């Protein structure tokens, strides 16, 4: 067994009928070339209850007001530059999820919280790169929504409002990266090189805060976590964690790291709630 992946007992239904919630590191297009990481993601998906649909919030779509992406199968968004052509040939024709989109609108829409639609926007790489490994048959309906804010408390509230979807078989996924500073790592080295101190210290702090269920500390991570501003010069890759936290606030103690370790010095830590 790989030392950096924890395997759960396979179940066909979620305990109590409720789906778990995930925060995962989505890597980049070259994730498909990493045999360990792809194996970890595939094994994680195999151990999860089979979702009726996936609702994903990616670091790569910030838009306010909150916007619902395509509810039909449309082309992917190749929101990266300078990679070999083969990465732009990836296809992931997952079914749309119009019923889930309507449920999201009902849960979120209010006079103070408008919800927009962008029917031509496909899944970006923060969504499809991990899903290609987790559900390679592209047979699970997928809906992506935007992050309307990077404010941790606002995102926790968003997750809390989406939480009822878990009882409908929806897998809520926050897709980011536990540490993310591409300018401070050496992409010319082997991907498994020892992480810089700022990355390992931040990762350790988050792991301990999650284990202690210290939501207040996590909300104030910019001031309380070591090397927070180096680990996240912008916070868009950490922000999806707060959506996941909000969707699991009823039982924050039910969390565990499923994937850990580092990729080009960046923390791969990925967490399951419930």
Domains of the chain are 15-273 (3.40.830.10)
Stated pTM of the model: 0.93
Which pLDDT band holds residue 253 (cuts at 50, 70, 90)? Answer: confident
d(CA 135, CA 261): 22
The pLDDT, as a whole number, for residue 14 is: 53
Average pLDDT over residues 147-171: 98
pLDDT tens for 98-133 read: 999 999 999 998 887 899 999 999 999 999 999 999
Which pLDDT band holds residue 16 (cuts at 50, 70, 90)? Answer: low
Residue 148, classified by CB atoms within 10 Å of its CB into exposed (0-12), middle (13-18) or buried (19+), is buried
d(CA 247, CA 232): 23
- Tell which residue, 1, 53, 3, 18, has the closest CA to residue 272: 18
């Amino acid at each position: 067994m790989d030392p950096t992946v924890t395997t759960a007992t396979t179940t066909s239904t979620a305990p109590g009928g409720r789906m778990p919630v995930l925060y995962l590191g989505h890597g980049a297009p070259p994730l498909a070339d990493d045999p360990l990481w792809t194996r970890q993601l595939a094994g994680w998906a195999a151990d999860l209850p089979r979702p009726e649909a996936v609702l994903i919030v990616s670091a790569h779509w910030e838009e306010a007001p909150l916007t619902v992406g395509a509810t039909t199968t449309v082309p992917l968004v190749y929101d990266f530059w300078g990679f070999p052509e083969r990465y732009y040939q990836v296809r992931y024709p997952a079914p749309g999820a119009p019923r889930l989109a309507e449920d999201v609108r009902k849960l979120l829409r209010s006079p103070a919280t408008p919800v927009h639609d962008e029917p031509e926007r496909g899944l970006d790489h923060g969504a499809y790169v991990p899903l290609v490994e987790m559900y390679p048959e592209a047979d699970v309906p997928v809906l992506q929504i935007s992050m309307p804010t990077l404010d941790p408390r606002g995102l926790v509230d968003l997750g809390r409002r989406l939480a009822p979807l878990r009882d409908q078989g929806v897998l809520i996924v926050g897709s980011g990266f536990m540490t993310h500073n591409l300018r401070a790592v050496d992409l010319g080295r082997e991907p498994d090189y020892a992480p810089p101190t700022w990355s390992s210290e931040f990762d350790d702090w988050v792991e301990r805060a999650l284990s202690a269920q210290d939501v207040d500390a996590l909300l104030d991570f910019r001031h309380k976590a070591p090397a927070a501003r180096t680990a996240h010069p912008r916070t868009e890759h950490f922000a999806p964690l707060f959506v996941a936290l909000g969707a699991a606030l009823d039982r924050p103690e039910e969390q565990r790291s499923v994937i850990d370790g580092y990729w080009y010095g960046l923390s791969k830590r990925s967490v399951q709630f419930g």
